[in-house]
Each structure stands twice: as C-alpha cells, then as structure tokens.
Amino acid sequence: MRLLEETQSEEEEEREETMVAQKLGGGFTQPMTKGGVVVGYALTSKKIKSFLQPKLEGLARNKGILFVAIDQHRPLSDQGPFDIVLHKLSGKEWRQILEDYRQTHPEVTVLDPPDAIQQVYNRQFMLQEVADLNLSDAYGTVGVPRQLVIKKDPASIPDAVNKAGLRLPLVAKPLVVDGSAKSHELSLAYDQYSLQILEPPLVLQEFVNHGGVLFKVYVVGEAIKVVRRFSLPDVSKRELSTNAGVFRFPRVSCAAASADDADLDPGIAELPPRPLLERLARELRRRLGLRLFNLDIIREHGTRDRFYVIDINYFPGYGKMPEYEHIFTDFLLSLVQSKYKKRVGKPVEEPLR
Ligand SMILES: Nc1ncnc2c1ncn2[C@@H]1O[C@H](COP(=O)(O)OP(=O)(O)O)[C@@H](O)[C@H]1O
Ligand SMILES: [Mg+2]
C-alpha cells in the first residue's frame, strides 16, 4: 500500500495560523479560516444527489463552508487541503487509503473513522453496543431483539433456533449490509423449518410487535432528530398459529411513508422520551466512535416505555431529516471550532481530532 507522506503546505500553515489568531482574537461566529472551512467529500453519485442538495450547499457557503469533491484515484494529500473529509464509499483499498490519511493528517477530521463504520456494516456487531449498554432509566428501557447468527449450513437452522429458544415469528436479515439491494432483502418466518430455504450468512431476529410504527432517530454529532415512519403490522398469535412459511418483506424501510400526518394510536405513535434518546445517542456516539448515523427504534406493542433498536445505519439519507441543512452545517463548524479550542490549550505537536 502506498504511504501518504505528511507534508504540510505553506498555505495550510498559514491557514492554521490565521485560525488560531482569530480564536485568540475572540469570537468565531464566522468562518475560522481565511478561505473558510473546506470539506472534501467522497460519496456515491446517489448520495451526492440526496445529501449535497443546493439548499445545503447554499447555506454552507453563507457560513463559510466549501464542499470540494475528492478524486478517489488521486492521492488525498495532493488534494485539498481539507479541514474535514466526509466519506461513504466502499472497498478495502479505499478504507486503507483513508486510514493512512488519518495517520498522516491528524489535523483533518475524517467523518467517520473507517474501522468504526465497518462495525455497523455487520448485523451481528451493529447492535452489540446497544445490548452491552443495557439502557434502563426512569424514561424507559432500550434493548435489542434476541437474535442468532447463522454463518452456514441452513439445514442446522431449526435446531439452532430451538436451542437458542428464539420465539417465532423471526425476521431473517442478511448478515452483511453492503449497500446492495440484496443485503436489505428481509424475510419473515412463521416457522423455523421454512428458514432452511434461505441462504446464510444470516441474522435471525425475533419479530417484535410494535403497532406498525417505527422511529428513525437521526444523529449528527450532538444533534438528534426523530421522525415517525410506517412499518410492518403486528403479527397476532392467531396468525402465527395458522400460518407457516417464509415471506419476503415488502421494502418497508424505504417505501414507508411518513407516519406524521396519520391518525395513529397515541400509545404507539407517541415519540420516545427525549431524555432517553439523548442518552442513547450520546452513549452510542462514544461506543461506536461514529458521529453520523441513524437508529431504527420500535416501541413494543402494549408497553409505553420498552424500546428496541433494530437497525443502525452509517451516514443515512439525511435528506429526510428535518432541518438537516442547518444541523449539518452547524456541526461542521463546531468540529473546526473545537479543534482550535484544543489547539490553543495544548502543545501543537499533539494530534488534533
Ligand atoms: N425485529 C424486528 N421486529 C419487528 N420489525 C422489524 C424487526 N426487524 C426489522 N423490522 C422491520 O423491517 C424493516 C427493515 O429492517 P431493518 O433491520 O431496518 O433492515 P434494513 O437494513 O433493510 O433497513 C424495519 O424498518 C422494520 O419495519
Ligand atoms: Mg432500517
């Protein structure tokens, strides 16, 4: 692997000096740098379309933030210089390039570290931190549905499900989430024998009745926003006893309309308590080492305060997060500002994050 050499350009040094000077001069409501905050982005064209909307770019420009496209095929050190690198591209080689860049350019904030992102691309590991956290306070409890990983041998499924004591129905999800449509093809199984027709590696997860409403919690640094979406309807005991087989899910998660205007049962549709979500987001930010993600959360039907996290996505479609332009641009500015706070208080040699 090619090593990226650390060479700080004169321009960059000058920029940093200007920034420190501005900080010391007091007040940093406006762009920190002479040229503003430069955000390099490496995103798929689909992501660029949904995220980098003219409204975002316009607002960013007013706040002194400039988005610059990264050319994946040229050395990163030759581009920029960047204050922040925003990325969501796949591939081992690209991950290595970013990791090397992080090592050699500690002054640049890479959103987010590639290793941390990897964890949420695997459904076995993605919910582990939520399970370990075991969050329970006066506002409610947050857990994960019980689940089982099947690496291979579909014939072993019925036995494995019995041994683990998993309750039917079960949701079967491909183990790895790689952005492909196939990795989001989910099935609902009413009996464990039918699962043998599916192809491992899989996660088998208990289906939790939740009244057909799901909460998407968007996290951008310290900011969170919750939106309601329609989800799968409950499965009744009767339905379970009279049905067998495995059924492909409709693409609920992307097709689901906003449930905000709908006339919903208040016991189900009431948003989860804000303090609980704040705490959950704060803990997960720290444990996962991520600043850009969202959570799919459901409230167990018949309860008021029993919640389950069923999915975590890195750098989700922020286009659907209300006011994301303001939240995102403020977040980008806050990153640069906190960097200078650290810099002013600490020896210059220390890596800045
Ligand atoms: N354990 C579960 N209990 C109830 N519904 C679930 C469960 N897991 C998934 N679902 C439903 O399936 C949808 C998609 O599942 P999810 O794990 O979010 O996969 P994806 O990666 O495709 O978004 C969810 O939005 C929810 O409607
Ligand atoms: Mg989801």
For residue 106, what are the CA distances in angstroms to 84, 167, 186, 209? 11, 48, 40, 46
Residue 11 pLDDT level (bands cut at 50, 70, 90): very low
Residues 42 and 89: beta-carbon distance below 8 Å:
yes
What CATH class does 123-314 carry?
A: alpha beta
Strands (E), 289-352: 292-299, 306-314
Pick the residue with more confidence: 264 or 301? 301
Count the helices and strands in the chain (H runs, E runs): 13, 15
Least confident of 72-81, 154-163, 208-217, 255-264: 255-264
What is the 313 CA–ligand 2 centroid distance (Å)? 7
pLDDT, residue 249, reads: 83
pLDDT of residue 351: 45
Examine the pLDDT at 349 and tell me if it is beyond 50: no
Domain boundaries, the chain: 10-112+326-342, 123-314
> What would the pLDDT profile of 82-122 be if each residue is shown by its tens digit?
999 999 998 999 999 999 999 999 999 999 999 999 999 99
Nearest CA to ligand 1 atom 27: 231
- Asked if 76 and 120 count as a contact pair (C-beta separation under 8 A), the reply is no
What's the CA-to-centroid distance between 110 and ligand 2, angstroms? 24
- State the pLDDT confidence band at 258, using cuts at 50, 70 and 90: confident
Q: Check whether 26 has a pLDDT greater than 50.
A: no
Domain over 10-112+326-342 is classified CATH 3.40.50.11370: yes
What is the predicted pLDDT for the residue at 265? 82
Is residue 195 in contact with ligand 1, taking CB distance under 6 Å? Answer: no
Q: Check whether the bond before 54 is cis (ω within 30° of 0).
A: no
Spatial CB neighbours of 83, under 8 Å, sequence gap ≥ 6:
33, 37, 38, 39, 108, 109, 335, 336, 339
How many whole angstroms separate alpha carbon 337 and alpha carbon 91?
Answer: 31
For the segment 206-222, the average pLDDT, to the nearest whole number, is 97
pTM greater than 0.75 (yes/no): yes
The helix or strand, by DSSP H or E, that contains position 58, with its residue range, turns out to be helix 54-62
Question: Is ligand 1 within 6 A of the CB of residue 296?
Answer: yes
**Is residue 22 over pLDDT 60?**
no
Q: Which residue has the CA at smallest separation from atom 25 of ligand 1?
A: 253
Distance between CA 204 and CA 124 in Å, rounded? 10
> Measured from the CA of 123, which atom of ligand 1 is nearest?
17
d(CA 253, ligand 1 centre) in Å: 7
Q: Cα of 131 to ligand 2 centre, how many Å? A: 17
Question: Same topology for domains 10-112+326-342 and 123-314, yes or no?
Answer: no
More confident residue, 138 or 9: 138
